[in-house]
Structure 1
Amino acid sequence: MKNKQNDMIRVYSDTEVNINRVSAELAKKGIPSLVKNEFQSAVMAGFGASPNAVDLYVNESDLDEASKLIEDLNQDN
């Protein structure tokens, strides 16, 4: 069986607030995503980290559509 997580590609890195907004917009379009929050993990472990250490991953098959949506969202701001 193929591991679906290995088919995921990082498409965006930013603050937690912005990543959550983009993730919500992707979900509205039916694009599943995975948020990897290194900042939160580091804080919980007692280490420091950059608050921009939050990454957003999508399935490789959704890469083009997700990239276009992210580009459009960034142009609006």
Structure 2
Amino acid sequence: MENNQNDMVRVYSDTEININMLNIELAKIGIPSLVKNEFQSAVMAGFGASPNSVDLYVNASDVEEATKVIQDLMKGE
């Protein structure tokens, strides 16, 4: 199977606050990302979900660099 570089890959899951911070930091260095907030979707639909079910996705071609940046930023946590 051929790897399509435009595929989105989940690189991190955490709270909405941390994911939004990472989203902003990645954007600052030119890495586009997508936030998928299952918690917010579940609440709006009337279901329960874990508040840690917020995922951060990046393009497959950016996974290595994004992972390094995320690890560096989250070391202080």
- Return the TM-score normalized by structure 2: 0.91
Are 2:42 and 1:70 aligned? no
The sequence identity of aligned pairs, in percent, is 73
Which ranges in structure 1 are unaligned for 5 or more consecutive residues?
none
Q: Which structure 1 residue ranges, 4+ long, deviate > 3 Å from structure 2?
A: none
More helix by share: 1
Alignment-derived partner of residue 26 in structure 1: 26
Gaps of 5+ in 2: none
1:45 aligns to 2:45 (yes or no): yes
For 1:53 and 1:30, the matched residues in 2 are separated by 25
Q: TM-score, normalised by structure 1?
A: 0.91
- Superposed CA RMSD in Å reads 1.1
Q: Which amino acid aligns with 2:13?
A: S
- How many residues end up aligned between the 2 structures? 73
